[in-house]
Amino acid sequence: MSLLAVAAAVIGLSVPTTAHAGPASCVPFGTAQLPPGAPATGSRAGLETFPRYTGSRAPQRVELRTETAQFNLHWEFALVGHRLIARPRSTTQWRAVPLPSCLSDRLVAISLDDDELVGIDAQGWIYTMDNVNQSPRLWNWTSAWGAMLWTAPGRTLPGRKTGGWALSVTSPSDNRVYQDIAGRVHPSGQAKMTMIPSLTGDGSRITYADPWLPNDDSYEVGGPLGGRFRSTSLSAAASTMFVMNKYGDMFTRTFDFDSSGSDSVFFRYSWESQRGKPSATDLTTETWDRSTAAVQLPAPDWARQPKIPGRITSTITVVATGPGVEKRELRVAGARAGAVGFWHKALHATAWSFTATGGPLPGRPLQNSPSDRSSETLADPVPWNLSASLPSRKAVVDGQTLIDIGLPYSVVDPRLLDRVGLTAPRSGYRLQVTAFDPAVTTRPAVVVTPTGARIPVLLHTADGMRMTPSRPGLTSTPRHLVGAVALDDATFARRASDTAIAAFVRDWMRGEAIAPITLSATTTSLVIR
């Protein structure tokens, strides 16, 4: 399901800061709105009808993804001026891609992943070309984007930073599966996971556009280091994001609205260990057969990548290398011993290799220090320090109840429960959380017991599902999230010797190390059930 004006200068063009009323109107509907699409064939049928490109400005090689050059397993695309050209991978002859009349001389940036390509115009409007892994006869465009179900008339690219956005597509045919935090493999679903993550603000915010979600900037991926890492570059592919700061410090994370815990309409999640349960072979079975393993939460966090031992620039790329769990390759433009090319490694490899390509070196040169300098680029913490009473375990409905009965809990705000009379007495325990950033998956918090003892806990969250536009962060309007209160292994083990922890585990955690909750937050208040 999940699926997003370019930066101030893209290929030398000035970009206006204000958008016109809407996208070009001649492509309101396309096959991208009818997921999942056919499996990749790489067919070239129909390519011979495209005019040959005979100019001199096309790239000789396409090994990195930029705003003007892209590739997938079967094709390469490039923008020459506003002209879109394409060729099969490992061939030399470029051909001009025919565009709908309203897109002719309009596109200023492109991004490609799996079987979709997005083009961006000078005002930032997104256009999607589908079936890019199929015959060129099946390539077609749509300007639609957003709720409901990819039928909204269109949206603009968040952030608009050069080198700070990318299309990401996970398809059931080409990627097939993903992995949860416990390492368990899950089917990606009958539809595609499509999104465009984009750096916004000072680079510490990652806003993502999803064609099935409202066209606003309220959905974010919490960045590395508690959402405070300032990235200058971002790439994405198959739900895997790759970010880097100005000192060459790099992180990766596999994340999507569906896999992270937010889509309880189509996916089944659990905060508890799924050990001993078999994996389902398809999403329908996983959703309805509770003897199979659910997606274990919280969503996997960012992983730090090893430093590159050489000269690099700001141009980074992550690509999917085939079906299977996290089969990704990372690439960074750079040089070694005077040769221009790119550094590369598999996602989980510990060392980088270098391939020389010749040609110009794309991107901005970076001060790639051999040591980690992530702490020097941290944004300020968010200002929202919140506190809430934990509800009595005698409440009729709480976070665990919503999961147990199979209700799409990511759409049930706890304030709504109060309004319909399903109130909850106070337990005597209180949760306190400093710098509560709703985009971040996990942060430290403290539970204060009735006697005043303080117990360190982890507060995990995932965004709730919203079908109407909202704003990023916390506002005076309640923001619904789902989550869990958890004790780390060391704290949980201390229950044998610490009476306060023992009582809390027994009376509120129901004897477990993790307890599901649903919560609602504003800039000044927090409600938990």
pLDDT digits (tens, 9 = 90+) for 455-508: 999 999 999 888 889 999 999 999 999 999 999 999 999 999 999 999 999 999
Q: Which residue has the higher pLDDT, 394 or 245?
A: 245
Q: What is the pLDDT of residue 10?
A: 29
Structure tokens at 414: 């706890």
Distance CA 511, CA 503 (A): 9
Looking at the structure of the chain, the number of domains it has is 3
Q: Let me know if residue 8 belongs to a domain.
A: no
Q: What is the pLDDT of residue 6?
A: 29
Q: SS3 of 170, please?
A: strand
Distance CA 276, CA 442 (A): 25
Q: What is the pLDDT of residue 38?
A: 75
Are 359 and 432 in a shared domain?
no
Q: Are 483 and 518 in contact (CB under 8 A)?
A: yes
Structure tokens at 186: 């899950």
Q: Is 251 exposed, middle or buried (0-12, 13-18, 19+ CB in 10 A)?
A: buried
* Average pLDDT for the chain: 92
What does the pLDDT average to over 221-229?
97
Helix or strand holding residue 426 (H, E): strand 426-433
Are 423 and 334 in a shared domain?
no
Q: Let me know if residue 193 belongs to a domain.
A: yes
Per-residue pLDDT for 2 more than 80?
no
Per-residue pLDDT for 403 more than 80?
no
Q: Determine which of 345-349, 414-418, 521-525 has the lowest per-residue pLDDT on average.
A: 414-418
Q: Are 424 and 395 in contact (CB under 8 A)?
A: yes
Last-in-domain residue among 128, 155, 182? 155
What does the pLDDT average to over 207-224?
96
Distance CA 140, CA 160 (A): 24
The alpha carbon torsion through 166, 170, 174, 177 (nearest 10 deg) reads 140
Are 142 and 162 in a shared domain?
no
Are 257 and 274 in a shared domain?
yes
Question: pLDDT digits over 301-348, tens only?
Answer: 999 999 999 999 999 999 999 888 889 999 999 999 999 999 999 999
**Cα angle 16, 17, 22; round to 5:** 80
Q: Let me know if residue 5 belongs to a domain.
A: no
Q: What is the pLDDT of residue 475?
A: 97
Q: What is the pLDDT of residue 407?
A: 65
Are 193 and 340 in a shared domain?
yes
Q: Let me know if residue 41 belongs to a domain.
A: yes
Are 137 and 260 in a shared domain?
no
Q: What is the pLDDT of residue 264?
A: 85
Q: Let me know if residue 231 belongs to a domain.
A: yes
Are 394 and 360 in a shared domain?
no
Per-residue pLDDT for 85 more than 60?
yes
Question: DSSP 3-state helix, strand, coil percentages of the chain (rounded to 5)?
Answer: 10, 35, 55
What percent of the chain has a predicted confidence (pLDDT) above 90? 80
Are 206 and 226 in a shared domain?
yes
Q: What is the pLDDT of residue 380?
A: 97
Q: Are 233 and 316 in contact (CB under 8 A)?
A: yes
Q: Are 13 and 122 in contact (CB under 8 A)?
A: yes
Q: What is the pLDDT of residue 13?
A: 30
Confidence of residue 4 (pLDDT cuts 50, 70, 90): very low
| Greatest extent of the chain over all pairs of C-alpha atoms, in Å | 79
Are 107 and 184 in a shared domain?
no
Last-in-domain residue among 347, 379, 411? 379
Q: Let me know if residue 138 belongs to a domain.
A: yes
Q: Let me know if residue 119 belongs to a domain.
A: yes
Last-in-domain residue among 122, 155, 188? 155
The domain of 421 spans 386-528
Structure tokens at 261: 């815990």
Confidence of residue 413 (pLDDT cuts 50, 70, 90): confident
Which residue type occupies 433? V
Confidence of residue 375 (pLDDT cuts 50, 70, 90): very high
What does the pLDDT average to over 28-43?
87
Helix or strand holding residue 400 (H, E): helix 399-404
Distance CA 36, CA 24 (A): 25
Structure tokens at 348: 């989980």
Are 237 and 281 in a shared domain?
yes
Distance CA 249, CA 374 (A): 6
Question: pLDDT digits over 161-198, tens only?
Answer: 999 999 999 988 788 889 999 999 998 877 889 999 99
Q: What is the pLDDT of residue 402?
A: 80
Q: SS3 of 190, please?
A: coil
Per-residue pLDDT for 405 more than 60?
yes
Are 137 and 252 in a shared domain?
no
pTM: predicted TM-score of the whole model, two decimal places = 0.93
What does the pLDDT average to over 76-85?
97
Are 175 and 144 in a shared domain?
no
Going by C-beta distance under 8 Å and a sequence separation of 6 or more, which residues neighbour residue 173? 36, 37, 38, 39, 40
What does the pLDDT average to over 358-379?
95
What does the pLDDT average to over 26-35?
92
Which residue type occupies 194? T
Q: Let me know if residue 28 belongs to a domain.
A: yes
